[in-house]
Structure 1
Amino acid sequence: MALFFDAAWFNARLAALNLSTDDLAHALGLSAQDLALVFKDQREVDAREVEILALLLKADPVEIANRCGISTPVPQPRLAEQARIDALERKVALLEARLMALEAQSLLR
């Protein structure tokens, strides 16, 4: 866990993904000046911003929170959203099973 904001790691991730700090500021809804405060460890990152950073930088939210500094909150999965995702995954699995059964029947004919 980074004690302070790990600007070098974030700059490396941005470079690897061919993104700029302007892209990062835009995604977070921050001005360039506000993002500069984050990089200088003069502004904390909140849980919502951690989620956005994780998506944009294709990284785990826990790693993002750790790289943002010691007091950065890790976003918690929203129970309602997780329940909805679980229900959708069950429906997809059921549809896949039915499709496989139909395909097997058509091969037997």
Structure 2
Amino acid sequence: MALFFDRQWFEEKLVERGLNQRIMAAAAGMTEAELALVFKDQRELSAEEVGIFADLLGTPAPEIADRAGVSTPTPGQSDLAGRVLALEKKVAALEAEIRRLTAPR
């Protein structure tokens, strides 16, 4: 896993595919300035952007995340807070049902 954004690797991948940073930014719905910050390791990628770059570069998403730096999420990881909240609601509902079933009659 790269500690920092692996600019050279991404640039080589773009050249291999006949693409450039303008196309990469547009594909991800980013401005060229935002992508420039990514390449300077001053902006992190979202899981959605990792997925888009994976498709664009023909590379598995985990490879993109690894090359983008240590804290870059892969698709499916980005909504951890939402998943935890949903699980907490399910646990609360189960606890309420247990209380109802075990209450004296």
State the identity as a percent.
51
Structure 1 unaligned regions, length at least 5:
78-109
Structure 2 unaligned regions, length at least 5:
78-105
Counterparts of 1:61 and 1:44, CA distance in 2: 15
Where do 4+ consecutive residues of structure 1 move more than 6 Å?
A: none
Counterparts of 1:36 and 1:72, CA distance in 2: 16
Q: Specify the alignment match of 2:83 in structure 1.
A: none
Give, as a single letter, the amino acid of the residue that structure 1 aligns with 2:58.
K
Q: Specify the alignment match of 1:19 in structure 2.
A: 19
Which structure 2 residues correspond to residues 81-96 of structure 1 after superposition, within 5 A?
A: none
Cα RMSD (Å)? 1.1
SS of residue in 2 equivalent to 1:2: coil
Q: Specify the alignment match of 1:56 in structure 2.
A: 56
Counterparts of 2:55 and 2:64, CA distance in 1: 10
Which structure 2 residues correspond to residues 29-108 of structure 1 after superposition, within 5 A?
A: 29-76=29-76
Q: How many residues align?
A: 77
1:41-72 per-position Cα deviation (integer Å, ceiling 9, x unaligned) = 00000100000000000000000000010000
SS of residue in 2 equivalent to 1:18: coil
Counterparts of 2:39 and 2:58, CA distance in 1: 19
Q: Specify the alignment match of 1:7 in structure 2.
A: 7
Comparing both structures, which one devotes a greater share of its residues to helix? 1
Shift in Å, 1:76 = 2.3
Shift in Å, 1:74 = 1.4
Give, as a single letter, the amino acid of the residue that structure 2 aligns with 1:36.
A
